[in-house]
Amino acid sequence: MTEAARVLPFPETPPPARGASAVLCGLGTWLPSRVVTNADIASRLDTSEEWIRGRTGIRERRVVDPGVSTSDLAVEAGQRALKSADLDHVDAVVLATTTPDHPCPATAPEVAHRIGLERAAAFDVNAVCTGFLYGLASGAGLIATGVAERVLVIGADTFSTIVDPASRTTAAIFGDGAGAVVLRAGAPHELGALGPFDLGSDGQDADLITVPSGGSRQRSTHEPPEPGSEFFQMEGRTVFRKAIYQMSGSAQNVLRKAGLGLRDVDRFVIHQANIRIVNGVADMLGQPVAKFVRNIGEVGNTAAASVPLAMASACESGELRAGQRVLLGAFGGGLTWGATLLRWPDIEAM
Ligand code: COA
């Protein structure tokens, strides 16, 4: 086929309406099959099963096999989300990730192509562990402005590829995984309609969570990177405090914007960074911990995949039921944070 024949003609699609709400109508996830237990980590690093479980709530995590990348997980989760929504096409793919397949280009176009979503707009969003919330807001924006009628939002990360294998702190916390949702244009009163959103950042604290080398700041020096600077680094104790403070603040902001109170929320699905962070947010908000979904024990901190994986596990267990008011929240590197609201739709997670 000639290049012109491949590119033309463009399909005639009616322009989507502007001002629509984004309605969550499909949910899919994917985890690598390889399980790494706390005992596995304790067998090679100066830590113990009890320390990891007691200080983080994590019992095990999934890790990709050699050669498996973020796009591989994203494709699987994206396909499952489309199946859950009973759709075979979307107009845009937003991939939230901090571990793209390559520094350039973005990973989303390849993911879209491999799912068979030809011509869909596709781009990556990097807001570290808040990436999925930023991705949802981006998808909702594409729908509200009439750019897209249906959007696939994927959160996928392979932190095992950037974590220092010799660091007992980070190696114990992170796991790999992917989760995806389909958003469609709809009305604000529908089950699954997202919004309002609260998003924020504080770049003053960019150094608290960072991969120091590999970007233009280091490469423009033309000096070799400092040993170990290609790995993920974080100030755990400070991040811990800020995560509780900012996720609590963002939850309150989004409720204020919606004209709702904390008692109107049936379930909180927040970033699974550490079970003590989830408990800390519940405490700061004065809410029972039973309202907070938790799946960190089985998957660890999966960064951009954390919120959709937690949604899917609660959907499968029946903890999330159609009609419940759900608050989604996250916090991550940048620093970044965000929250949004929805009434849970009648969907099956795949
Ligand atoms: N095993 C045993 N000891 C460990 C350890 C491990 N895996 N990791 C840290 N320690 C040690 C520390 O070296 C420290 O020892 P010291 O007192 O002799 O200096 C001690 O345990 C306490 O360290 P501290 O950092 O105060 O522990 P903590 O209770 O805050 O737990 C984290 C550490 C990393 C688990 C916790 O701070 C955390 O979860 N932070 C947020 C992480 C996160 O999810 N970030 C991603 C972005 S949201």
Q: What pTM does this model have?
A: 0.95
pLDDT in tens for each of the 350 residues of the chain? Answer: 556 555 555 556 665 677 899 999 999 999 999 999 999 999 999 999 999 999 999 999 999 999 999 999 999 999 999 999 999 999 999 999 999 999 999 999 999 999 999 999 999 999 999 999 999 999 999 999 999 999 999 999 999 999 999 999 999 999 999 999 999 999 999 999 999 999 999 999 999 999 999 999 999 999 999 999 999 999 999 999 999 999 999 999 999 999 999 999 999 999 999 999 999 999 999 999 999 999 999 999 999 999 999 999 999 999 999 999 999 999 999 999 999 999 999 999 99
CB hemisphere CA count around 252 (13 angstroms):
12
d(CA 235, CA 255): 30
197-343 has the same fold as 16-186: yes
Q: Return the closest-CA partner of residue 98 out of 172, 159, 28.
A: 159
Closest ligand 1 atom to Cα of 128: 47
Do 128 and 333 form a contact (C-beta atoms < 8 A)? yes
Look at residue 19 in the predicted model and tell me its pLDDT. Answer: 85
Q: Is 315 designated active site?
A: no
Distance of CA 169 from the midpoint of ligand 1 (Å): 6
Closest ligand 1 atom to Cα of 277: 39
**Which of 98, 130, 133, 169 is the best mutation target for the ligand 1 pocket, counting ligand atoms within 8 Å of the beta carbon and taking the most?**
169
Partners of 154 in beta bridges: 95, 180
d(CA 75, CA 178): 9
Look at residue 7 in the predicted model and tell me its pLDDT. Answer: 57
Q: Which of 271, 274, 295, 315 is an active site residue?
A: 271
Radius of gyration of the chain (CA): 20
User: Which tokens sit at 203?
Assistant: 């770049």
Q: Return the closest-CA partner of residue 185 out of 285, 87, 55.
A: 87
Residue whose token pair is 């811990």: 240
Nearest CA to ligand 1 atom 33: 236
Q: Is 271 designated active site?
A: yes
Q: Which of 253, 295, 301, 315 is an active site residue?
A: 301
Helix (H, G, I), strand (E, B) or coil at 52: helix
Q: Return the closest-CA partner of residue 179 out of 94, 57, 265, 283.
A: 94
Nearest CA to ligand 1 atom 29: 55
Do 132 and 332 form a contact (C-beta atoms < 8 A)? no
Does the 16-186 domain belong in CATH 3.40.47.10? yes
Query: How is the chain split into domains, by residue range?
Result: 16-186, 197-343
Closest ligand 1 atom to Cα of 333: 47
- Size of the chain in residues: 350
Closest ligand 1 atom to Cα of 172: 7
Look at residue 18 in the predicted model and tell me its pLDDT. Answer: 79
Q: Is 25 designated active site?
A: no
Distance of CA 261 from the midpoint of ligand 1 (Å): 33
User: Which tokens sit at 270?
Assistant: 């927040």
Distance of CA 185 from the midpoint of ligand 1 (Å): 43
Nearest CA to ligand 1 atom 32: 236
> From residue 206, how far is each of 104, 201, 209, 229 by CA, in Å?
22, 10, 6, 15
Helix (H, G, I), strand (E, B) or coil at 102: coil
For the purposes of burial, counting CB atoms within 10 Å of the CB of 304, is it exposed (0-12), middle (13-18) or buried (19 or more)?
buried
Q: Which pairing describes strands 233-234 and 92-96: parallel, antiparallel, or unpaired? A: unpaired
What are the backbone dihedrals phi and psi of residue 289, each rounded to the nearest 5 degrees, phi first? -65, -25
> From residue 124, how far is each of 6, 13, 107, 270, 315 by CA, in Å?
25, 25, 7, 21, 26
The residue type found at 258 is A
Look at residue 2 in the predicted model and tell me its pLDDT. Answer: 57
Do 286 and 154 form a contact (C-beta atoms < 8 A)? no
Pocket of ligand 1 (CB under 6 A): 47, 51-52, 55-56, 129, 168-169, 172-173, 209, 234, 236-237, 239-240, 243, 273-274, 301, 331-332
Nearest CA to ligand 1 atom 36: 236
Closest ligand 1 atom to Cα of 56: 35
Fold exhibited by the domain 197-343: Peroxisomal Thiolase; Chain A, domain 1 (3.40.47)
